Amino acid sequence: MENAITVALAKGRLAEKSVELLEKCGVKCKHILEPSRKLVFFDESGEYRFIFVKPSDVPTYVEYGVADIGVVGKDTILEEDRNIYELLDLNMAKCRLCIAGYADHETRRKTSDLKVATKYVNVARKYFEQKGQNVEIIPLHGSIELGPIIKLSDVILDIVESGKTLEENDLTVLEEICKISARLVVNKVSLKTKAETIKPLVKRMSEIIKEG
């Protein structure tokens, strides 16, 4: 247990899928999904230590090396822009990062600068800078779709998975920024010092992904 590899898993929608993938790789860890207030878990072999953290914190834990590896969405990787290796596209938890709003948002707009509500403020800043468009970015932490509905913003920048949330609120995708999926991220030092554990796991994961 002392030399265990620490794995940071994103709480929420990715948790179950991450554990499923690890189980397929032979890491016996499904018990960590059982309801509990514990924050640190081990797999049956004691070779892996797991921590469940907020998705946006996964890249931070991995950059600082307190987690050797992590599973997190590309959206979070783009937003956090941490000094970590992104080793594998896990081909799961697929969605799109989009600008969304009312189809006629241009005619509804009251101000010259577009108001954009989002939890991806860094992604939004870069995206609109590249387009050469002046915008006002309004940071929110959840229920982003409320932005246009209650006239806090003209549009939102958010992930769209099934599209149901937009549809049920009469909103629509206006622009697609990029496709998103879960990624395996690794601490740069750990990849060298713990290669004997990390590399076989990465290899097994990529085989599983190829098998579909």
Chain-centroid distance, C-alpha 171: 23
At residue 31, what is the residue type?
H
| Interaction of residue 163 with ligand PRP, rule CB under 6 A | yes
Helices (H), the chain: 15-24, 58-63, 74-80, 105-108, 121-131, 146-149, 164-168, 190-193, 195-211
Compute the least distance from the CB of residue 14 to ligand PRP, in Å: 10
| Interaction of residue 16 with ligand PRP, rule CB under 6 A | no
DSSP summary character for residue 31:
G
Q: Are 187 and 90 in contact (CB under 8 A)?
A: no
Compute the least distance from the CB of residue 171 to ligand PRP, in Å: 10
**Of the candidate residues 61, 145, 147, 190, the single one contacting ligand PRP (CB under 6 A):** 145
| Interaction of residue 75 with ligand PRP, rule CB under 6 A | no
- Among left, alpha and beta (phi > 0; psi -120 to 50; other), residue 26 is left
| Interaction of residue 117 with ligand PRP, rule CB under 6 A | no
C-beta nearest to ligand PRP: residue? 142
**Of the candidate residues 37, 104, 132, 164, the single one contacting ligand PRP (CB under 6 A):** 164
- Nearer CB in complex with ligand PRP: 65/163: 163
| Interaction of residue 79 with ligand PRP, rule CB under 6 A | no
Which positions touch ligand PRP (CB under 6 A)? 142-145, 158-165
